[in-house]
């Protein structure tokens, strides 16, 4: 790994690294925050997956998660949202290609050689983080929008890795949404039976979830029709999974919304990964 940036933040260290990814076939960048507790002991991890057009940097700078992670002794990992580089396929649209990996393993050209964000996050980067930093196997995952979709689908499919999951305004039913059908058709192909593993509402019905789930949604979110949160609510009811779904009047889809509830999400994960605060 190449260290790009290392700064002190709330008594811990905020760092950015670049490394060669075998999964994505290109250089990848990620951010990590190690709280002050990590200087003397290994700590649990909360993964944060970002949304469309974002890099690792957006949440590191705008979500304000570090101050709360420092108090509760959680490391934070901020992956990028897609592979990048001159030889990596792209599209003129903001919601396809670089910056829009959707946390899937692409099987269709021109995306298949690089767009393997599912394997990158759950296999390659997970192993790298566990091997290179003072962290434990107690890990949770959250994310915003496209990243909320990623957090839910990755957790439901990998309960042995992620012990807690939450989301901010997630895309919950992409097989029925324009934020999903376009991308899944491009990355996975037109056979819709192959899309099921990347739809949180369908996965929850078929696989369930061993713990509870927290989802926050802005009541004035301009993309509410694309996110389809009610589908996840209904799926959780159908399989008796405890889902705390909170709609907040006045909030939209921005990082102002994420930052407003960041402390509650960090504490929620910390309670499940470390135990309730004293």
233/173 Cα distance (integer angstroms): 11
Report whether the peptide linkage leading into residue 165 is cis, meaning its omega lies within 30 degrees of zero: no
Residue of 21, 82, 145, 177 with catalytic role: 145
Q: Which of 144, 221, 265, 269 is catalytic?
A: 221
Distance CA 203, CA 173 (A): 10
Identify the bridge partners of residue 167 per DSSP, sorted by sequence position: 215
Check 144, 253, 265, 269 and give the catalytic one.
Answer: 253
Is 221 a residue of the active site?
A: yes
CA distance 164 to 209: 10
Residue 269 annotated to the active site: no
Short-list 88, 81, 133, 148, CA closest to 114:
88
> Is 145 marked active-site?
yes
Return the active site residues.
Answer: 145, 221, 253
């Amino acid at each position: 790994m190449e260290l790009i940036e290392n700064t002190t933040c709330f008594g811990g260290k905020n760092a950015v690294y670049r490394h060669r990814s075998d999964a994505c076939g290109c250089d990848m960048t990620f951010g990590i925050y190690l709280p002050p507790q990590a200087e003397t002991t290994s700590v649990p991890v909360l993964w944060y997956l970002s949304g469309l057009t974002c890099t690792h940097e957006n949440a590191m700078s705008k979500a304000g998660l570090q101050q709360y992670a420092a108090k509760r002794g959680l490391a934070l990992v901020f992956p990028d949202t897609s592979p990048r580089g001159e030889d990596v396929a792209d599209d003129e649209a903001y919601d396809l290609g670089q910056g829009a990996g959707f946390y899937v393993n692409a099987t269709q050209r021109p995306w298949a050689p690089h767009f393997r964000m599912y394997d990158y996050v759950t296999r390659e980067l997970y192993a790298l983080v566990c091997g290179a930093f003072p962290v434990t196997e107690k890990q949770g995952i959250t994310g915003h929008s496209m990243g909320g979709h990623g957090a839910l689908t990755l957790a439901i499919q990998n309960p042995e890795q992620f012990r807690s999951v939450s989301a901010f305004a997630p895309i919950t039913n992409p097989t029925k949404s324009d934020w999903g059908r376009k991308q899944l058709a491009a990355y996975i192909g037109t056979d819709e039976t192959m899309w099921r593993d990347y739809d949180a509402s369908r996965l929850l019905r078929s696989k369930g979830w061993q713990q509870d789930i927290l989802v926050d949604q802005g009541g004035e979110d301009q993309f509410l029709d694309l996110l389809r949160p009610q589908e996840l609510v209904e799926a959780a009811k159908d399989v008796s999974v405890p889902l705390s779904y909170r709609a907040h009047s006045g909030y939209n889809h921005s990082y102002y919304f994420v930052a407003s509830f960041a402390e509650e999400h960090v504490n929620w994960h910390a309670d499940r990964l470390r135990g309730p605060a004293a």
